[in-house]
């Protein structure tokens, strides 16, 4: 838990400990970046030394540890930006303790699913290749760096090329049936995938959802 206010950190630590979690609290962004590896990060944005968005970006660049952002900022732009940086979920203060635990459990379930070998397919569609075991993605032979959620969304769409996937279906199956956030999250991730690959790869089906459109391998 990265939280500099002891009036918030201590009650949360006590509650999470009673819920069965081992909790390490640090009060600064530097402390978060220097901490030992952990299973999940609760990251407050209002830190005394580093901007929480910088900490989120750095943690994500180091690996796929789940990150739940806790913020007093309610503006949509902040939340969308954090999801672009790789946060897995967010909570806006004030929030209930039961909601926090539900979010932690939902993210933990998704993470366990991501790491399960039987659910990691190898996909080769046109110029796109996905290695499910290593989670490496290449397009036209070039490696593509994706956030964990971008990877999941791409795998879900590319596994059934041409099929239309509804917005609610994507939010339910890729995020979680307990996702509480805005569906604008989906649009942010679609836009990011189009930027990193090609805009034509993911087609918008108006009033329904999206579908993956395979592009052929370039001829030698």
Q: What is the pLDDT of residues 106-146, one digit of tens each?
A: 888 776 655 444 445 689 998 999 998 888 999 999 999 98
Q: Evaluate if residue 83 carries a pLDDT over 80.
A: no
Which bin fits 163, alpha (ψ -120 to 50), beta or left (φ > 0)? beta
Architecture per CATH, 117-212:
Orthogonal Bundle (1.10)
Is-contact 193 169, C-beta < 8 A? no
d(CA 90, CA 105): 13
Q: Which residue ranges make up each domain of the chain? A: 6-114, 117-212
CA torsion, ordered 192, 196, 199, 204, to nearest 10 deg? -40
Q: What percentage of the chain exceeds 90 in pLDDT?
A: 42
Q: Is the dihedral of CA 34, 35, 41, 43 positive or negative?
A: negative
d(CA 96, CA 52): 21
Average pLDDT, the chain: 84
Q: Is the dihedral of CA 200, 206, 208, 209 positive or negative?
A: positive
The 10s digit of each residue's pLDDT in 159-180 is 889 999 998 888 878 876 555 5
Enumerate the β-bridge partners of residue 205.
Answer: 209
d(CA 169, CA 81): 23
Coil vs helix vs strand at 190: helix
What local confidence, expressed as pLDDT, does residue 50 receive?
A: 92
Tokens coding 36: 């030992």
What local confidence, expressed as pLDDT, does residue 3 receive?
A: 94
Q: With respect to CATH, is domain 6-114 assigned 3.40.50.2300?
A: yes
What local confidence, expressed as pLDDT, does residue 184 receive?
A: 77
């Amino acid at each position: 838990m990265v939280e500099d206010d002891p009036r918030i950190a201590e009650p949360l630590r006590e509650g999470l400990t009673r819920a069965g979690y081992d909790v390490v609290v640090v009060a600064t962004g530097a402390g978060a970046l220097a901490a030992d590896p952990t299973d999940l990060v609760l990251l407050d944005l209002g830190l005394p030394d580093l901007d929480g968005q910088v900490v989120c970006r750095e943690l994500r660049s180091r690996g796929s540890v789940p990150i739940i952002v806790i913020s007093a900022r309610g503006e949509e732009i902040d939340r969308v930006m954090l999801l672009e940086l790789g946060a897995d979920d967010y909570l806006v203060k004030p929030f209930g303790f039961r909601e926090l635990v539900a979010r932690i459990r939902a993210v933990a379930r998704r993470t366990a699913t991501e790491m399960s070998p039987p659910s990691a397919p190898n996909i080769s569609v046109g110029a796109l290749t996905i290695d499910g075991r290593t989670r490496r993605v290449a397009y036209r032979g070039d490696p593509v760096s994706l956030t964990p959620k971008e990877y999941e969304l791409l795998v879900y769409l590319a596994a059934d090329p041409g099929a239309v996937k509804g917005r609610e279906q994507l939010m339910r199956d890729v995020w979680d049936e307990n996702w509480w956030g805005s569906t604008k999250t989906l649009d942010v991730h679609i836009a990011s995938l189009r930027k990193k690959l090609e805009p034509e790869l993911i087609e918008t089906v108006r009033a329904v959802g999206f579908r993956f459109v395979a592009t052929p391998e370039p001829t030698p």
